[in-house]
Amino acid sequence: MTGPLPIIAEPRNDRYDVVIVGGGIMGSSVAWWLTHDPAFDGSVLVLERDPTYTFAQTSHTNSCMRQQFSNELNVRISQFAADFVRNFRTWLEDEPEVPELAVHHFGYLYLAGDDRFAEALRANQRLQAGLGAGTRILSPEEIVRDFPFMHVDDIVCGSHNPVDEGYFDGGTLFDQWRRSARRGGVEYISAEVVGLDHDGRRVSGVRLDSGRTVLADTVVNAAGTRASIVAAMAGIELAVEPRKRFTFVFDCADDLGADLPLTIDPSGVHVRQDGEAFMTGCGPDVDLAVGHDDFVMDDDIFEAKIWPILAHRIPAFERIKVRTRWAGHYAYHPLDHNAIVGPHPELGNLLFVNGFSGHGLQQSPAMGRGLCELIVHGEYRSLDLSPFGYERVADGAGFDETAVI
């Protein structure tokens, strides 16, 4: 990122066309798309409780992107993200000094340890290939051919896509979206939302911790792990909760001789190349909701769980040294681990963009575009995101996606 943005203490106006609660990657994506839609000339206010983003999901992301999903819509969303990242300077061509985004396309490598998961990978590959993705199924012998440092005696097959998968510079994407949105007239305010005024049909105002109320024609809930708190202010139940995820960056004494794709072990531990180092992570063994401010590391999980798995899969990882570590949160949607996007069926001017369960950064270009289309044009025009709508949550009908990490 190119430095902090100045903080504005109070909204300049009493009313805005769009008020976005949460200034992380999703809120900033919506704001940026609004400023770049020729049909929109309204006012936009973004409210962020922590303008330093110290504990935001956006700051703790691993910045990965993949097309290896089991649902066509998720594949399409990721394909658009790949295009957006690859052509970032073109998308922001009216902005000064936009950098190229660093992108590393070494792909994801899913490893199947049993026949059931192997068949799921094969079915997913057929879907992905039919949509133009470069996914290929690898036998154990082919895995060793391409990645000779890997131990695969207990692996049935792998699924690898080296095209438009890997990781990218999400921090610069986020920073440029915010800067560009502000140049386009969006106000970013350091404030916490403490209430929503509504009459059961529409949200009319957003109450701030300063005691001030801002009137709004449309309110977007982009509050990350706190989305359920914001929804509850309107009397809405939203099952999005913080789930802890641990990340470690380490050095290896031995050279693997080739880039390591983001490899998902059958155990659930994942590891990838991270420049000259490597990044690995997992969730806790007992994966429950935690406090919104609970970022305490599990000091034992690396040696007790992660390291033995890494050393088994890649013997060179017997000799590694942890460089840094952190705990972050998924904004986790327990129903189906996929996003909740679009309007509430009764409070029609309250829009959700929540519950991404670890997919947020890579889905943010398409989600921001979709919310912008909904606000400006009253409908999705590029990708139909309605399958992510709140109605499925109310009905308890999950979004059909099996490829969840």
Q: Which tens digit of pLDDT belongs to each residue from 137-151?
A: 999 999 999 999 999
pLDDT band, residue 209 (cuts 50/70/90): very high
Bridge-based pairing of strands 262-264 and 203-208 is: unpaired
Antiparallel, parallel or unpaired: β 350-354 and 213-221: parallel
Does 4 score more than 70 pLDDT?
Answer: no
pLDDT for 257 equals 93
- pLDDT above 60 (res 3): no
Residues 6+ away with beta carbon under 8 Å from 169 = 63, 101, 102, 103
Q: How does strand 15-21 pair with strand 213-221?
A: parallel
69/151 Cα distance (integer angstroms): 25
38 or 400, which is more confident: 38
Q: Please report, in angstroms and rounded to a whole number, the separation of the first and last CA atoms in the chain.
A: 27
- Interhelix angle 25-35/170-183, rounded to 10 degrees, is 40
pLDDT surpassing 90 at residue 107: yes
- Quick one: tokens of 178? 């915010």
Domains of the chain: 15-61+170-240+335-395 (3.50.50.60), 104-164+242-330 (3.30.9.10)
pLDDT at 1: 41
For residues 225 and 212, the answer to whether their CB atoms sit within 8 Å is no
| Residue 164, C-beta contacts closer than 8 angstroms, at least 6 positions apart | 65, 67, 78, 79, 82, 86, 105, 133, 134
The total of other beta-carbon atoms located within 10 Å of residue 340's CB is 26
Identity of the amino acid at 28: S
| Angstrom distance (rounded) from CA 240 to CA 291 | 12
Dihedrals phi, psi of 372, to nearest 5 degrees: -60, -45
In this structure, which long-range contacts are made by residues 135-139, counting pairs with CB atoms below 8 Å and at least 24 apart in sequence?
Answer: 135/67, 135/68, 135/159, 135/160, 135/161, 136/160, 136/161
pLDDT tens-digit map of 168-208: 899 999 999 999 999 999 999 999 999 999 999 999 999 99
**What are 382's two structure tokens?**
């590029």
The mean pLDDT value of the chain amounts to: 94
Burial (0-12, 13-18, 19+ Cβ within 10 Å), 370: buried
User: Mean of the pLDDT values across residues 72-84?
Assistant: 96
pLDDT of 336 strictly over 80:
yes
Please name which of 37, 340, 342, 349 lies closest in space to residue 215, comparing C-alpha atoms.
Answer: 349
Q: What is the mean pLDDT of residues 93-100?
A: 83
| Confidence class for position 80, pLDDT limits 50, 70, 90 | very high
What integer is the mean pLDDT of 118-141?
97
Confidence at 7, pLDDT banded by 50, 70, 90 = low
Residue 2 clears pLDDT 70, i.e. is over it: no
Task: Confirm if 219 and 21 have CB atoms less than 8 A apart.
Answer: yes
Q: Is 394 helix (H, G, I), strand (E, B) or coil?
A: helix
Residue 296 has pLDDT above 80, yes or no: yes
Q: Is residue 359 within 8 Å of residue 345, measured between CB atoms?
A: no
The reported pTM is 0.94
State mean pLDDT over 296-319: 96
> In angstroms, rounded to a whole number, what is the distance separating the alpha carbons of residues 136 and 161?
6
Strands in 1-150 per DSSP E:
15-21, 44-48, 64-65, 103-104, 108-112, 136-138
